[in-house]
A and B are shown apart, each in its own frame.
Chain A
Amino acid sequence: MNDLINIGKIIKSSGLKGRLKVLSYMESPGTLESLEEIYIGATKQSAIPFRIATVRIKNKSMLLDLEGVKDAVASNALVGFHLFVPSGRLDKLQDNEYYWRDILGLEAVTEDGQRLGRIERIIPTGGNDVYVCAGSEREILLPAIEDVIKLVDIERGVLIVRLLEGL
């Protein structure tokens, strides 16, 4: 169950027939329409599967009907819980594309072995994304371009970078 991804939170029940309103964390919520099952729980370890009856996506939120959740009492009991999907059900990645959750926490190391710190945040800009590397001395902003990010090794938890002059 460790490969479950948090994709939203149930914020309230809607109506009397067990419908749930969910705040979505998804960039492409269309993925949910193809899912048959979703995991719900306070944490991913305690999440249990529910079968999806219908999903309606509306901007950053969605309305979710689950099989077995038929009234407001049952839906109210789920308010505050998180929604999870297995990572394998998410979109396939293209070349040089990574999930944020894989990049966050990686250790940035220069090509000559100098440790810069961990990637704490990602700033999406209109152009390239920027990885915020919190080092012991100062914060370093790394543009997500091939000239700077030389290797992303998710298994070893390392990001090999070449710092540009003036960064």
Chain B
Amino acid sequence: MARSVKKGPHVDEKLIAKIRKAEATGSRTVIKTWSRRSTVTPEAVGYTFAVHNGRKFIPVYVTEDMVGHKFGEFSPTRTFYSHAGDRKTKLKKR
């Protein structure tokens, strides 16, 4: 069931504070977070977050199309193994 619109998106206070601090100082350092349940807000766009997956921190660069999703969606908790085959990887632009 979807979250009530009345409440607005949930973002952990500590994470908001880290984003605001990075904004204020203009720093582009990686923001470490354990808060997988927090929603990606427009303020987070352009920053790189290290989102914990239970074992390590997965670096996630936030872009506009990720707004509204949860941070945890971008930090897989299961090890992914696959044949390389014709798989492609693309460098994301800023």
Give me the interface of A with B, judged by CB distance under 8 Å: 5-8, 24-28, 31, 90-91, 93-94, 96-101, 103-104, 122-130, 139, 141-147, 149, 152, 164-167
When A and B form their complex, what is the total count of cross-chain residue pairs whose Cβ atoms lie within 8 Å? 128
In the bound complex, what is the Cα–Cα distance between A45 and B62 (angstroms)?
A: 43
Q: Is the CB of B61 within 8 A of A128?
A: yes
Q: Is the CB of A104 within 8 A of B88?
A: no
Q: Is the CB of A126 within 8 A of B74?
A: yes
Q: Is the CB of B93 within 8 A of A97?
A: no
In the bound complex, residues from chain B placing their C-beta under 8 Å from that of A101 are 84
Q: Is the CB of B85 within 8 A of A167?
A: no
**Smallest CB-CB A-B distances: 6 pairs:** A25-B85, A166-B30, A25-B83, A143-B59, A100-B84, A165-B29
Closest B residue to A141 by beta carbon equals B59
Q: Is the CB of A128 within 8 A of B60?
A: yes
Among the listed B27, B30, B60, B84, which residue makes an inter-chain contact with A127, where contact means beta carbons less than 8 Å apart? B60
Are A96 and B87 also in contact (CB < 8 A) when A127-B62, A127-B74, A166-B30 are?
Answer: no
Are A129 and B89 also in contact (CB < 8 A) when A141-B59, A143-B60 are?
Answer: yes
Q: Is the CB of A122 within 8 A of B29?
A: no
Residue pairs across A and B with Cβ atoms less than 8 A apart, 28 shown, are A6-B85, A8-B85, A25-B82, A25-B84, A25-B85, A27-B88, A93-B88, A98-B88, A99-B89, A100-B84, A101-B84, A123-B58, A125-B76, A129-B89, A129-B90, A141-B56, A143-B61, A144-B92, A146-B92, A146-B94, A149-B91, A152-B91, A164-B48, A166-B29, A166-B30, A166-B31, A167-B30, A167-B59
In the bound complex, what is the Cα–Cα distance between A72 and B86 (angstroms)?
A: 29
Closest B residue to A122 by beta carbon equals B89
Residues 46-76 of B contacting A (Cβ, < 8 Å): 48, 50, 56-63, 66, 69, 73-76
Q: Is the CB of B75 within 8 A of A143?
A: no
Among the listed B59, B73, B88, which residue makes an inter-chain contact with A130, where contact means beta carbons less than 8 Å apart? B59
Q: Is the CB of A145 within 8 A of B91?
A: yes
Q: Is the CB of B63 within 8 A of A26?
A: no
Q: Is the CB of A144 within 8 A of B86?
A: no
In the bound complex, what is the Cα–Cα distance between A14 and B64 (angstroms)?
A: 47
Q: Is the CB of B58 within 8 A of A5?
A: no
B48 vs chain A, min Cβ distance (A)? 6
- For the A-B complex with A100-B87, A128-B59, A145-B48 known, give 12 more contacts whose Cβ atoms are closer than 8 Å: A25-B84, A99-B84, A123-B58, A123-B76, A125-B75, A125-B76, A126-B66, A127-B62, A128-B61, A129-B89, A143-B48, A146-B91
